[in-house]
Amino acid sequence: MFEETLARLRTHHKNVQRYRQLLETSLTDFEREYIGKRLSEEQTAIDVLSVSAQTEAPSRSATNLSDGNPQASCAAGAAKYLAI
């Protein structure tokens, strides 16, 4: 479940990047408003999922940190995908 949440975070992050790039192009007011709303919705989804990821993350004590598991720290994993 944690991996699925991280995948969703990546998808929303990519959508945010795409919408920001679109906002840098020549758009009508209607298009700019629509994209602004979608951007806000994507950011809200990221916020909700990041809270969910923190509750789903494997605990540090339950994870063998010597095996290089990137999911050892939810905060680090979520921050990687939320750095916008």
> In the predicted model, what is the mean pLDDT of residues 3-28?
95
Contacts of 25 (CB under 8 A, 6+ apart): none
CB 72 within 8 A of CB 79: no
CB atoms within 10 A of CB 14: 12
Please write the tens of the pLDDT for every residue from 42-75.
999 999 998 877 776 665 444 444 444 444 444 4
Name the more confident of 27 and 50: 27
Cα separation, 65 vs 48, in Å, equals 27
CB atoms within 10 A of CB 31: 13
Range of the domain at 43: 2-82
Task: Provide the pLDDT for residue 78.
Answer: 53
Domain count, the chain: 1
The pLDDT confidence band at residue 3, using thresholds 50, 70 and 90, is confident
CB 54 within 8 A of CB 74: yes
